[in-house]
DNA sequence: ACTTTCGGGACACCCCGTTTCT
DNA sequence: AGAAACGGGGTGTCCCGAAAGT
């Protein structure tokens, strides 16, 4: 995470007029930058405490802004929460979803996905924001719930695609139901995350890894079969 | 789950001498009954909204009691929440955990457990209270979190025992790690529950059932082997 | 002004059950008493600062109550302001309006009224609450304005009555327009109060007293005439 | 009233060399004109609502300027309010104070002053700005209060002077206390204005006019006396 | 010269959890 | 057990004034 808060309030004169083609750094208006900073600093708070329990006072403290400074950028707590979730979900999926698993065959890539999810901690402190939001917003916050649903769906779609690629590549059995595999992947990993949190131990994730590995073995095209095919 | 309901707050002195001469006094005094009623009526509210978001006003409305009536039986919201969780967890484990799966061999009993969990809805509306509480109380409510951890541990122990029985019965492979199986069971089921809730569809549970069925096949002693053993 | 704030929070048991016929002291419920205390403590603040400029924080500080404690007794600031005005106006009229001027003929009573108004300071610090409210609520607060109008009308009516009594008593000329006299009384006194406040000097009131005395001389039945009448 | 409008804030350096070669430069530069316009448009708002209740937003709406546009000309709300009061007081005194009463003897001029005050409405909507400011700024705004005091003093001085002229002219009794007369004049008129506003009726002013007329009769040198003097 | 954006801060009102008094 | 009372924290609005942009 870049440090935004130290960039605030730096008079524009001291900076290069129009930062040229330096990476992504599209020069943001000051307000836009503040808005982004708020989102990033609020993310762990919402993630840890949930929508209702997280108060604006906590966000004010975290950002160093006063209420007026926060409400200038967001119509209300709800809108802030939504933006925060979008940010958190994106970060979470980038870090633990599938990103970086582009090498090897589909089976390897799936295995890499599991490993990444288990080894890489949530980029937003407080656990998986998708799970947290899904449970937290179960009732009474349909907007957030919908966002969580979409995030899960996106994740699932990515896994599905890899499974389908595996089928095309001939490393995964034809009959495999990709949707089913993806769902079980997510369910088991997220369930393990939940256990991990209450048990204060990562054992659950290790067990999940082993058994999801077994699942992959089950749907894999058996070595003998595969060779025969090739020949 | 221990019986907590007869512990506290029975200011015996001020009561009309009604309770018979039986030390056990199965007939609950009125206050005790009210206390239990409050717990039962509050359970779905806490389960749906979480500890923070659930307000006393909602409980007042549900029970028809005034605030004073509630506070007569519970020292504070926290204590009420704990009792509610104990009640909810007990009900949930009784209904979906393992109860009723006493017939057949260990494999069958495990399969029955999965089926029951998937087919029987949560006895407390609002989803699985264990999961909800685990996520909801992640931060800022260590007491509830501990209770959730214990409930999960109890559930896990029960599954472990069945797996171990299966090993003794010779229907589950010796090398099977019972703890690992139990953890994956719970993780997958709870993860599927979470998905179910955001997706508004029970598909995730179905997929989980299939996967866990496959898991059981993997750890089962193969038919041929088993027969040979017997002979 | 009785000291209310030290009566708060004194457990009822320590007091005589039903305080008998001791003066006015109808035993108030605790809340009723608090409400009254708030009104009395808020009165000088509203009187000094006006409706808009007076903030709830000031009232909280003055009463020692928290926001919740204040809002339990008043629906909103507006309602509090109205009650405060009613209280202030009553106090002001009791202290400076006409009360206590029951002896002598009507002319003497009118003179006494002037003297009282000038000698007795406003019982609510911050000047005459009628004038303050009339000016302050000129625009944008019709409810308060109406109350102020009514208070002025009541005051005027009292003066009118005395003038009419004077006519009946034969000490004030028949042709005297009571309404006119009353209006000028009030106008001159209140105008002098306003000057007094900006000038930080009571001279204006003294001048007003002299000239209102002259007004009374003008409308008085001349001594000779009066004697002749009598004879 | 001093001319304040050409004093400040004309950052002469930064301006295009436009102002001709006339040291007096009767043509106001654009900024100066805007400043004056703001004052004029803000005057009725401040007069109606008072210093605290009047918000910059209202002034923005009235002037069509943005906040920055206002702040270019005034350091803060306080300074604007002061300038507005100076403007309003000047206008009020010009229109209703004494202006235009230059004909006839002192008694006639005094009578004319009363008539003018009563017949001519406040040039600034919202009632007499002197009275409004005096009451409004009673506490918490010493600067405005001082300005109001000075405005009242100026008004009083003018009346005093006419009374003194009357004494010199021999139409007003020697013993007359000019200060006292002036004070009562102002007090009665302003008090009547206050009543007028709450009563939504001009009766109070009419009554005040009659009374003040009687006051003039009292201090006038009696016709017989006057003739004798002259002879 | 004026607009737009930005942020600090106070304010009103609401509602919750708890205590106290019937 | 009900009802009243109160402390306290929450949200969202508004306003003032500064700063940046045009």
In terms of Cβ atoms closer than 10 Å to its own Cβ (0-12, 13-18, 19+), residue A134 is buried
Above 90 in pLDDT, residue A41?
Answer: yes
Which residue matches tokens 């409980």?
B59
Phi and psi, residue A147, nearest 5°: -60, -45
Please, how many CA atoms are within 13 Å of residue D36, restricted to the half-sphere of its CB? 12
Does residue A69 reach within 7 angstroms of strand E, measured from its CB? yes
Above 80 in pLDDT, residue A99?
Answer: no
- For residues C205 and C210, what is the distance between their CA atoms, to the nearest angstrom? 9
Measured CA C58 to C1' E17 distance, in angstroms: 25
SS (H, E, C) chain A: CCCCCCCCCCCHHHCCCCCCCCCCCCCCCHHHHHHHHHHHHHHHHHHHHHHHHCCHHHHHHHHCCCHHHHHCCCCCHHHHHHHHHHHHHHHHHHHHHCCCCCCCCHHHHHHHHHHHHHHCCCCCCCCCHHHHHHHHCCCCCHHHHHHHHHHHHHHHHHHHHHHHHHHHHCCECCCCCHHHHHHHHHHHHHHHHHHHHHHCCCHHHHHHHHHHHHHHHHHECCHHHHHHHHC
Residue of D126, D148, D210 with shortest CB distance to C139: D126
SS3 D221: coil
pLDDT: is A28 or C148 the higher one? C148
pLDDT tens readout for residues A125-166: 999 999 999 999 878 899 999 999 999 999 999 999 999 999
**Which residue places its CA closest to the C1' of nucleotide F6?**
C69
- For residues D21 and D58, what is the distance between their CA atoms, to the nearest angstrom? 39
pLDDT tens readout for residues A174-219: 999 999 999 999 999 999 999 999 999 999 999 999 999 999 999 9
SS3 D213: helix
- For residues A74 and A77, what is the distance between their CA atoms, to the nearest angstrom? 7
Q: Distance from first CA to last CA of chain D, Å, rounded?
A: 42
The list of chain D residues with pLDDT below 50 reads: 1-26, 228-231
| Residue of C156, C173, C188 to mutate for D, most D C-beta atoms under 10 A | C188
- Give the pLDDT confidence score for residue B139 in this predicted structure: 80
- Give C161 to chain D, closest Cα distance, Å: 17
- Give the pLDDT confidence score for residue A8 in this predicted structure: 37
- The helix or strand, by DSSP H or E, that contains position C212, with its residue range, turns out to be helix C203-219
CA angle B112, B85, B83 (to 5 degrees): 135
| DSSP classification of residue D12 | G
SS3 D172: strand
- The helix or strand, by DSSP H or E, that contains position B19, with its residue range, turns out to be none
Q: How far is CA C45 from CA C69, C155, D55, D138, in A?
A: 18, 23, 21, 12
CB-CB under 8 Å, D210 with C214: no
- For residues C23 and D15, what is the distance between their CA atoms, to the nearest angstrom? 77
- For residues A19 and A41, what is the distance between their CA atoms, to the nearest angstrom? 25
Contacts of C68 (CB under 8 A, 6+ apart): none
Kindly state whether D118 is in contact with chain C, defined as any CB-CB distance less than 8 angstroms: no
Q: Which residues of B touch A149 (CB under 8 A)?
A: 198-200
The rounded mean pLDDT for chain C is 85
Measured CA A111 to C1' F21 distance, in angstroms: 53
Scan residues 35-64 of A and list those with Cβ closer than 8 Å to B: 48-50, 52-53
Decide if B53 contacts A52 (C-beta within 8 A).
Answer: yes
Mean pLDDT of B144-163: 95
- Give the pLDDT confidence score for residue A20 in this predicted structure: 39
> Cβ–Cβ contacts within 10 Å for residue A123, how many?
17
Does residue A53 reach within 7 angstroms of strand F, measured from its CB? no
Q: Torsion over CA of A64, A70, A73 and A78, rounded to 10 degrees?
A: 130
Mean pLDDT of B121-149: 93
Residue of D49, D188, D207 with shortest CB distance to C140: D49
Q: What is the DSSP string of D130-154?
A: HHHHHHHTTTT-HHHHHHHHHHHHH
- For residues D127 and D132, what is the distance between their CA atoms, to the nearest angstrom? 7
Mean pLDDT of B101-117: 90
Decide if D171 contacts D230 (C-beta within 8 A).
Answer: no
pLDDT tens readout for residues C43-67: 999 999 999 999 999 999 999 999 9
- For residues C195 and C204, what is the distance between their CA atoms, to the nearest angstrom? 6
Name the band, by pLDDT with cuts 50, 70 and 90, for residue A26: low
Name the band, by pLDDT with cuts 50, 70 and 90, for residue C231: very low
Name the band, by pLDDT with cuts 50, 70 and 90, for residue B230: very low
Does residue D73 reach within 7 angstroms of strand F, measured from its CB? no
**Closest CA relative to residue A178, chosen from A110, A108, A90:** A110
Q: Which two tokens stand for residue A89?
A: 């979900």
**Closest CA relative to residue C113, chosen from C173, C150, C161:** C161
- For residues D58 and B180, what is the distance between their CA atoms, to the nearest angstrom? 70
> Cβ–Cβ contacts within 10 Å for residue A61, how many?
12
> What is the chain D residue with the closest CA to C153?
D199
Claim: this prediction has a pTM higher than 0.95: no
pLDDT tens readout for residues C87-110: 999 999 999 877 666 788 999 999
Decide if D208 contacts C183 (C-beta within 8 A).
Answer: yes
Q: Which residues of C touch D132 (CB under 8 A)?
A: 135, 138
Name the band, by pLDDT with cuts 50, 70 and 90, for residue C14: very low
Does residue C78 reach within 7 angstroms of strand E, measured from its CB? yes
Mean pLDDT of C144-163: 96
């Amino acid at each position: 995470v870049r440090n935004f808060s130290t960039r605030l309030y730096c008079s524009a004169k001291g900076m290069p007029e129009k930062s040229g083609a330096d990476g992504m750094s599209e020069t943001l208006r000051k307000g836009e930058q503040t808005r982004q900073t708020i989102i990033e600093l609020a993310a762990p708070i919402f993630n840890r405490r949930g929508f209702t329990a997280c108060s604006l006072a906590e966000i004010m403290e975290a950002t160093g802004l006063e209420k007026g400074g926060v409400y200038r950028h967001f119509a209300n707590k709800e809108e802030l929460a939504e933006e925060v979730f979008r940010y958190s979900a994106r970060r979470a999926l980038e870090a633990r979803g599938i990103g970086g698993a582009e090498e090897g065959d589909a089976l390897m890539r799936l295995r890499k996905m599991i490993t990444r999810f288990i080894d890489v901690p949530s980029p937003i402190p407080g656990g998986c924001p998708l799970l947290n939001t899904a449970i937290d917003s179960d009732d009474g916050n349909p907007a957030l719930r919908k966002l969580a649903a979409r995030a899960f769906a996106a994740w699932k779609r990515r896994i599905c695609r890899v499974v389908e690629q595996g089928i095309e590549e001939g490393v995964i059995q034809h009959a495999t139901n990709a949707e089913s595999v993806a769902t079980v992947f997510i369910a088991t990993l997220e369930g393990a995350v939940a256990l991990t949190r209450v048990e204060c131990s990562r054992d659950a994730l290790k067990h999940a890894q082993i058994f999801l590995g077994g699942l992959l073995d089950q749907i894999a095209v058996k070595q003998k079969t595969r060779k025969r095919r090739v020949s």
